[in-house]
Amino acid sequence: MLGMEKEIHKYLTIEKETISELVIDRSRFIAHSFAVTSQEAIREKVIQIQSLYPDASHLCYAWRLGYNPSLEFSTDAGEPHGTAGRPILGSILRRNLTNLLVIVSRYFGGKKLGIRGLINAYQQAAEKVLENSGIIEMEPLAEFILTINPTCFQLMVGQLIYFCRDKKYLELDPNDSKIRFRVPLHKLREACAFLEIKKKEKCLLIWKRCDNQVEMNGKIT
């Protein structure tokens, strides 16, 4: 499975997270785009938008994660079947984008749009936010959540930076003794071996891959 992942050298995703708005027959459609790499991150973004628009009539969204193969999901969130989530996902697929989430919140304006009208509205909202988000080519990364022995936290940070040759691949949460750690796929096997060594040394308590490509929990598969 690791060998197959090496075949993926680049993928397309959004350049920046964006918000756009569209009004159609008095209904207001607010679209957000997010760069995401895990279903956990997707859940957090959905909760964030739900809290931002608690009185919205509908909160519909679609996401795509990974490559070779990818995971995809869409929801109509109470709109007629196939009129919201699927058009949003279609806009993502037409651009061959991945590792992103598009959420469209609707405020009903008092006039029904009909099946075709809803499909067109959600598609237009998704198209507009994706157009404003831009497209960028990215290198695939494997992503891990590391639970660190608190007494070794700074030591592990230094060793991970040395391993990656760049601290941009780390996100730190010292209060929770956790590190989000990313490596290019061509270094995946080397990274797994490194993490196993750190676990045996008891500097690292738990490591788990969290980018939906290959499920691993403390072992190479």
Q: What are phi and psi of 99, to 5 degrees?
A: 55, 50
> Quick check: 42 and 101 in contact, CB under 8 A?
yes
> What integer is the mean pLDDT of 120-126?
97
Q: What is the pLDDT of residues 4-50, one digit of tens each?
A: 444 556 889 999 999 999 999 999 999 999 999 888 899 999 999 99
Q: How many CB atoms lie within 10 A of CB 171?
A: 13
> Quick check: 153 and 202 in contact, CB under 8 A?
no
What per-residue confidence (pLDDT) applies to 170? Answer: 79
Measured between alpha carbons, how far is residue 129 from residues 22, 103, 161, 199 in Å?
A: 10, 10, 35, 43
Largest CA distance in the chain: 65
**CATH no. for residue 132?**
3.30.230.30
pLDDT band at 175 (very low <50, low <70, confident <90, very high): confident
Residue where a domain terminates, one of 112, 137, 162: 137
Q: What is the pLDDT of residues 78-93, one digit of tens each?
A: 999 999 999 999 999 9
What is the chain's mean pLDDT, rounded? 87
pTM: 0.70
What per-residue confidence (pLDDT) applies to 68? Answer: 72
Q: Is residue 173 domain-resident? A: yes
Q: What is the pLDDT of residues 59-81, one digit of tens each?
A: 999 999 987 778 999 999 999 99
**Residues 88 and 146 reside in one and the same domain:** no
**Residues 183 and 167 reside in one and the same domain:** yes
> Cα separation of 139 and 129, whole Å?
23
Q: Is residue 198 domain-resident? A: yes
Q: Is residue 154 domain-resident? A: yes
> Per the structure block, which two tokens stand in for 134?
């831009």
